[in-house]
A = this chain, B = another copy of it.
Amino acid sequence: MIVVSSIKTLRHKLATARAIGTVGFVPTMGALHDGHLSLMKRAKKECDFLIVSLFVNPLQFGPKEDFKAYPRTASQDRKKARSAEVDLLWLPTEKMLFSPDFQTSIEVGSITHLWEGASRPNHFKGVTTIVGKLLQIVRPDFFYLGQKDYQQCCVIRQMLRDLHFETRLHICPTLREQDGLAMSSRNTRLSAQKREIAPVFYHALQTAKKSVQSGEKKTKNILQAAKSILDATKDIQLDYLALCDTITLLPIDRIKNRAVLLVSGNLGEVRLIDNILLKVPSAPNKS
């Protein structure tokens, strides 16, 4: 595994790789877990050369958010990347990506004002700006994101289309702990007591899924099914629970064919998000 820091060296290595075959890219903020490794595994299978970046992006954290507390586990990350047969591990520094007069941003519109964007002003602007920068440097044929950050995937897909990026985005399934909690670098920040409660988001999503599978189509009732589970847990400060169109993320009144159920809430200091794709059963059980 090549470990590179400077943009110039990286571009040099990539030019060689690109001449031989396809380049796959998994951008991360480090604190790698099995979710990241599953993205790498898929990329490794589909591409000739796999590059993984590790960079905790200051732009996407709000002033009151956990940029400083965000877990940093550099040496473990290296070992994990090596075990995932990453070809090139890129460790840019803040100085390399942000010159002192840095002042440009990439911003996606209406879809970023919803849900996570409503609660975290400038979060998606920070995400699209850094992803745009990284993609411009790496220019991968394919890049890989996890479905856990569903809205982020939609926002980035919109940016790729609107700005004519030639890379292809693959959204990979959310990996979960045995008890259903969606894997996230933030999970390590949960206290033992909060960690025990955390799978309640997953249970709520599953309950909604069952309700749809049994023929429920009204958003109100589907949400009520999920909310009854969340309400049973006092420690959760729910931010949103919303049944949405899978592309525009606008809330829908009724599920016709497919929909995404998005949820976010705080468990103590830690913000958790999760989601599930819902599909109306092809042979309806009830009307």
Contacts and interface: CB of A to CB of B under 8 A. Distances in A.
Interface in A79-112: 99, 101-111
Nearest to A162: B104
Nearest to A110: B103
A55 interface: no
A74 B128 CA distance: 36
Given A101-B158, A158-B101, A106 B163 contact: yes
Contacts of A99: 161-162
Contact of A106 (B7, B105, B109, B248): B105
B101 A133 contact: no
One complex includes copies of this chain to the number of 2
Interface string A41-76: 000000000000000000000000000000000000
A142 interface: no
Contacts of A7: 164
Interface of A: 7, 11, 99, 101-111, 128, 132-133, 136-137, 158-159, 161-166, 248
Given A101-B158, A106-B106, 20 more contacts: A11-B166, A99-B162, A103-B109, A103-B111, A103-B162, A104-B106, A104-B107, A104-B109, A104-B128, A104-B158, A104-B159, A104-B162, A104-B163, A105-B106, A105-B107, A106-B163, A132-B163, A133-B162, A136-B166, A137-B164
